[in-house]
Structure 1
């Protein structure tokens, strides 16, 4: 009864827009909100990045990852790194840091293992969505990558709260469904996730693929189906069939190969 009351309180906080983020995500969140402003200036972005050592290190590392450093010439300054990766990819990196930090302070070994598994799933889905969007669903690849990064933000938040409230997530029937949607929507609102991306993510629950696969939601559904690591929140559930959607085995092999390479090249900078 006490656990149910705690969970109801979390849902009520979400409904009122009162969810509290850990202080460790504030710098990345401030950067993300600044980048969401169309009038954001380069010098302001650089100041925010330099104001947090981890952000600065991650930005330079991202710029030197193979996916952005095609020439093999390293950059050694934040300004050069921001110029190389661009605002959109910096925005995705900031979102990745926000999501990742939810699980960074979890003390319970079982919950930490779930958070690590969820992050590996997220990394694969993001890389796969980037390739699937480019090769199969006519979806902007950068938007697909970003959506893959944040699509489990609500799950990470719940895991972080479960560390404070033992047993909170023991019974999926108590929190999956409408309650999970309320929490996910509020998390995405606080992260300034664009509405088209938020809508695609929320509509994933119970969604099925309809040919031909198009748009962001279908891109995420296919990426989640192809991901070699399943989300701990979908354990025991059937994955949607891709029959009729990716019948070209050569194309499927190419998607899997390219996404694996992308996940590896970004992992040290964006996805860790």
Structure 2
């Protein structure tokens, strides 16, 4: 009964938009708001990045990651890093930092291990989505990368709350359905995720693929299915069959190869 009451409280808080965020993400959220402003000046963005040492370090690290450093030429300043990755990808990084913070503050060893697995899954899905969008679904690759980074925000949030409320996630039936949808939707609002991306993410759970695979949701579904690290929070309904969609084994192997280095470098660059 106590666990059910705890879970009901979390869902009620999410429904009211009262999600509990770590105080350490304030700098990232401020940067997100600035980047969402179409009149935002480069110098203002750089000042906000430099105001938080971890954010500054991660910005430079991301600019030197394989996904953004095709030439192999390193950058060593925040200004050069921001110019290389661009506002759109910097926005993605700040959202990823927020998501990672939920896992970073977990104390329980088992839950922390799940959070680490969930982050590895997230990094692979983001990298694969970037490749799948280019090669298969004719979607915008940068949007797919961003969606992959934030698509498990609700899962990270639940893991962080389970650290405060032991046994919260023992029964998947409590949180696999409508409750998870509510929490995911509110996380998307809190992170100011654009509506098309939010809709694709919220509709993932229990979704099926229909030929031909098109659009952002299908891109994410395929990336999640191909990811070599599974989500520790996935149910059977979260693994749609790819039979008839990816019969070209050579294409699958190519996408896995191309995404592997990107996933590793992105995971290291965004580690907080």
Into which bin does the TM-score normalised by the smaller protein fall?
over 0.9
2:264 is paired with a residue whose SS is helix
Are residue 168 (structure 1) and residue 168 (structure 2) matched?
yes
Q: Compare 144-153 and 60-69 and name the one that shifted more.
A: 60-69
Q: Compare 21-30 and 107-116 and name the one that shifted more.
A: 21-30
Question: Which position in structure 2 is the counterpart of 1:154?
Answer: 154
**Contact 2:205 2:237 (C-alpha < 8 Å) held by counterparts:** no
1:21 is paired with a residue whose SS is coil
Instruction: Provide the C-alpha distance between the structure 2 equivalents of 1:13 and 1:208, rounded to a whole number of angstroms.
Output: 30
Instruction: Provide the C-alpha distance between the structure 2 equivalents of 1:53 and 1:174, rounded to a whole number of angstroms.
Output: 39
Q: Compare 174-183 and 207-216 and name the one that shifted more.
A: 174-183
Structural RMSD (CA): 1.3
**Contact 2:65 2:269 (C-alpha < 8 Å) held by counterparts:** yes
Deviation for aligned residue 1:261: 2.0
Deviation for aligned residue 1:33: 2.1
Question: Which position in structure 1 is the counterpart of 2:39?
Answer: 39
2:269 is paired with a residue whose SS is coil
**Contact 1:122 1:148 (C-alpha < 8 Å) held by counterparts:** yes
Matches within 5 A, 1:131-146: 131-146=131-146
Q: Compare 231-240 and 117-126 and name the one that shifted more.
A: 231-240
Question: Which position in structure 2 is the counterpart of 1:245?
Answer: 245
Instruction: Provide the C-alpha distance between the structure 2 equivalents of 1:238 and 1:99, rounded to a whole number of angstroms.
Output: 20
TM-score (norm 1): 0.96
1:232 is paired with a residue whose SS is coil
Instruction: Provide the C-alpha distance between the structure 2 equivalents of 1:218 and 1:235, rounded to a whole number of angstroms.
Output: 18
1:91-133 deviations in Å (ceiling 9; x for gaps)? 1111110000001010001100110111111111011000000
**Contact 2:103 2:156 (C-alpha < 8 Å) held by counterparts:** yes
Unpaired stretches in structure 2, ≥5 consecutive residues? none
Question: Which position in structure 2 is the counterpart of 1:51?
Answer: 51
Question: Which position in structure 1 is the counterpart of 2:198?
Answer: 198
Deviation for aligned residue 1:236: 5.4
Are residue 108 (structure 1) and residue 88 (structure 2) matched?
no
Count of residue pairs brought into register by the alignment? 272
Are residue 13 (structure 1) and residue 13 (structure 2) matched?
yes
**Contact 2:123 2:266 (C-alpha < 8 Å) held by counterparts:** no
TM-score (norm 2): 0.96
Matches within 5 A, 1:177-196: 177-196=177-196
Instruction: Provide the C-alpha distance between the structure 2 equivalents of 1:73 and 1:229, rounded to a whole number of angstroms.
Output: 30
Deviation for aligned residue 1:31: 1.1
Deviation for aligned residue 1:271: 5.3
Q: Compare 156-165 and 23-32 and name the one that shifted more.
A: 23-32
